[in-house]
């Protein structure tokens, strides 16, 4: 029970801090719209301000504490408010954006983790100097460059210069959305560059981590005993070295998903990919407070649940912790 209470408390305090920061951001959306109405419709500022409040259905004159209580009550009822820019319920926008973000992050993280684990295990087993040098070179190049810079270079190379892959949107406008092969193929084709941007910048971290764990496992007594028993190299590598080396990385896997989710705005905005990060950028640009709060809320929940899932997975996969 205590393990569930702490994440809930963390989410609550994060939501309160997020709400207060957003509500005190410069650039009131009502004042911005009122200035535009006053300029275009030639109205006095007071009339334009009242019209802007009615159009946006948002009153900044309500005390912040009262707005916070109303927002928390809305969360408990499953109501995140209405977007000022899109004129839709924020919950509908969140549920529509979440699958796109999960698609790209899940595929990219699964690929980078799988390739990194296999490559790290192989490098540790072979102990070739040129393999370690190549891995260090890869990490020094792609590990030091931000993922959105890599994404920009991928767009320039594969979309602009070569014209092989699309650079914008989740699917082609020529296909009909639905469970059909043209739509699925278009979605996968449009996801290649975002996935590749995440993959190139994260795979070396998993490879280095797995290599370090595997090198430590190779010096353990149970590996020497397995060799003395005459077990095959493949069985020793997979069942003895691989299993014990991958356990410490399970926690990092779930936590990395949470941090990648929180860092998605830059990549999604660059590819115009309609995920959580894209709508968060749009909300910030338009000072759409309810939409900002909704997107940050789902990010907070995913990050906290990722940490909780990591702890649970490690307990399940580690027999010694299960016995305790």
pLDDT by residue for the chain (324 residues), tens digit each? 667 788 888 888 989 998 888 887 776 777 777 777 777 777 777 777 777 777 666 777 778 888 888 888 888 888 888 887 788 888 999 898 889 988 988 899 899 999 999 998 888 888 888 888 888 888 888 877 888 888 889 999 998 888 888 888 888 878 888 888 888 899 999 999 999 988 998 888 899 888 888 888 877 777 787 788 877 778 888 777 888 888 778 777 777 777 777 667 778 888 888 888 888 888 888 788 888 888 889 888 888 888 787 777 767 766 665 555
pTM, 2 dp: 0.81
Question: Could you give the angle at which helices 276-286 and 264-271 cross, rounded to 10 degrees?
Answer: 90
Alpha-carbon gap, residue 154 to 270, rounded angstroms: 11
Based on its alpha-carbon atoms, the radius of gyration of the chain, rounded to whole angstroms, reads: 25
Residue 111's pLDDT is 93
SS3 (DSSP) at 12: helix
The domains located in the chain, with CATH, are 2-76 (no CATH), 90-323 (1.10.3720.10)
Q: Is 256 exposed, middle or buried (0-12, 13-18, 19+ CB in 10 A)?
A: buried
Residue 317's pLDDT is 65
Q: Is the dihedral of CA 32, 37, 40, 43 positive or negative?
A: negative
Alpha-carbon gap, residue 163 to 156, rounded angstroms: 9
Find, among 21, 205, 8, the residue nearest to 112 by Cα.
205
SS3 (DSSP) at 193: helix
Alpha-carbon gap, residue 313 to 324, rounded angstroms: 15
Contact 289, 22 (CB under 8 A): yes
Other CB atoms within 10 A of residue 236 CB: 19
Q: What are phi and psi of 143, to 5 degrees?
A: -80, -20
Q: Which two tokens stand for residue 218?
A: 């190779």
Give the residue ranges of DSSP H helices in the chain. Answer: 2-23, 29-41, 45-56, 64-76, 90-126, 129-142, 147-154, 181-218, 221-228, 233-235, 243-262, 264-271, 276-286, 289-317, 319-323
Name the β-bridge partners of 89: 82
Q: What are phi and psi of 235, to 5 degrees?
A: -70, -40
Alpha-carbon gap, residue 80 to 299, rounded angstroms: 14
């Amino acid at each position: 029970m205590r393990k569930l209470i702490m994440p809930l408390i963390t989410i609550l305090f994060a939501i309160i801090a997020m709400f207060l920061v957003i509500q005190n951001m410069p650039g009131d959306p009502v004042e911005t719209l009122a200035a535009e109405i006053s300029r275009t419709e030639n109205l006095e500022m007071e009339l334009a301000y009242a019209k802007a409040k009615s159009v946006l259905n948002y009153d900044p004159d309500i005390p912040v504490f009262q707005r916070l209580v109303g927002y928390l009550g809305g969360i408990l009822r499953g109501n995140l408010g209405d977007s000022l820019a899109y004129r839709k319920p924020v919950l509908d926008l969140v549920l529509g954006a979440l699958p796109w973000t999960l698609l790209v992050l899940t595929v990219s993280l699964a690929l980078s983790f799988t390739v990194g684990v296999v490559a790290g295990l192989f490098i540790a087993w072979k102990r070739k100097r040129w393999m370690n040098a190549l891995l260090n070179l890869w990490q020094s190049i792609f590990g030091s460059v931000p993922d959105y810079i890599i994404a920009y270079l991928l767009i320039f190379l594969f979309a602009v210069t070569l014209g092989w892959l699309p650079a914008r949107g989740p699917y082609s406008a020529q296909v009909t959305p639905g469970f059909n092969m043209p739509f699925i193929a278009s979605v996968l084709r449009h996801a290649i560059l975002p996935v590749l941007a995440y993959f190139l910048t994260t795979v070396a971290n998993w490879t280095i981590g797995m290599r370090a764990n595997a090198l430590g496992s190779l010096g353990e007594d149970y590996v020497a005993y397995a060799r003395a028993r005459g077990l095959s190299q493949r069985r020793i590598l997979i069942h003895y070295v691989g299993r014990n080396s991958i356990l410490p990385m399970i926690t990092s896997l779930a936590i990395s998903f949470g941090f990648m989710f929180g860092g998605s705005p830059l990549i999604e905005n660059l590819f115009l990919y309609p995920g959580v990060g894209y709508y968060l950028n749009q909300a910030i640009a338009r000072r759409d407070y309810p939409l900002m709060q909704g997107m940050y809320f789902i990010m907070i929940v995913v990050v906290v649940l990722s940490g909780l899932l990591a702890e649970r997975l490690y307990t399940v996969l580690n027999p010694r912790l299960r016995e305790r």
